[in-house]
Amino acid sequence: DSGVTQTPKHLITATGQRVTLRCSPRSGDLSVYWYQQSLDQGLQFLIQYYNGEERAKGNILERFSAQQFPDLHSELNLSSLELGDSALYFCASSVNGISTDTQYFGPGTRLTVL
């Protein structure tokens, strides 16, 4: 158990819908990362937050957005869902959000878009 929690574990929805994925970092960690893992793209970095502020953006679509709240939990919002958005979404956390930090990953949310 990494100490990072993600809810829900599974999500099934239809095209065009909007969903919210939630992540709680390990106690004491200030930075949260979101990654997407699809069959054809592998594990890809989406976005990083540090203490409520966006720090880095990766291959995140404009239909996707995220935020980190004062209690440090984070939410990833996916809208106008398409079949290709079906994937595993992982959240990771680290202490200071810098490259010498070790990141610890949550168990993931499996999103299925029908």
Q: Which residues are near another protein by CB under 8 A?
A: 2, 4, 31, 33, 35, 42-45, 48, 55-56, 58, 88, 90, 92, 94, 97-108, 110
End-to-end CA distance of the chain: 31
> Alpha-carbon distance 92 to 95, whole Å?
11
Minimum CB separation of residue 52 from another protein in Å reads: 15
Minimum CB separation of residue 70 from another protein in Å reads: 21
CB burial class (10 A; 0-12, 13-18, 19+) of residue 28?
exposed
Minimum CB separation of residue 69 from another protein in Å reads: 20
> Alpha-carbon distance 56 to 81, whole Å?
23
Q: Which is nearer to another protein, 18 or 43 (CB)?
A: 43
